[in-house]
Amino acid sequence: MLPTLVIPSACYHRMLKHIQACIPEEACGILGGKGMNVELVIPVTNREHSPVRFYMEPLELLHALETLESEQLEMNGIFHSHPTGPQIPSETDIKEFLYTGIPTLIWSYTDTGWVLRAFQICKGNYEEIGLYLE
Ligand SMILES: [Zn+2]
């Protein structure tokens, strides 16, 4: 059975608001929680300010990780957006992925609006995982 990440509606909307605010640039951030249950969304500035790639601003990322630690939560996801697609991890996402074992969530913009999908990226490849919106 596929592992499934559980996302409360408030967290879903927090991410959506952030990625919409960053259009046309890619937006990014981290998720914290326990196991596969997401409890917190922390947006992080995309240092690249690019529509086709992202790099989380290192100091902000550090502060975000400190926040998780003080809340006794683990990082259990990384999200970013593809304002012009694709819905799946890009070659760069796969090549530059630094967080083995942490789910990657991709928001992509399609004809019918934003689509959210989740993946595990590992050893130059990826596999889709489940998402359950609470
Ligand atoms: Zn990407």
Q: CATH number, domain at 82?
A: 3.40.140.10
Contacts of 14 (CB under 8 A, 6+ apart): 41, 43
Distance 1 CA to ligand 1 centre (A): 25
**Domains: count for the chain:** 1
Distance 82 CA to ligand 1 centre (A): 6
Summarised one tens digit per residue, pLDDT across range 42-71 is 999 999 999 999 999 999 999 999 999 999
Distance 58 CA to ligand 1 centre (A): 18
Q: Would you place residue 98 in the very low, low, confident or very high pLDDT band (cuts 50, 70, 90)?
A: confident
Q: Which residues are catalytic?
A: 26
Residue 11 has a pLDDT of 98
Which residue type does 94 have? I
Supply the DSSP symbol for 3: -
pTM, entire model: 0.95
Residue with tokens 């046309």: 24
Residue 36 has a pLDDT of 96
Q: Would you place residue 90 in the very low, low, confident or very high pLDDT band (cuts 50, 70, 90)?
A: very high
Cβ atoms of 47 and 57 closer than 8 Å: yes
The residue range of the domain holding 115 is: 4-133
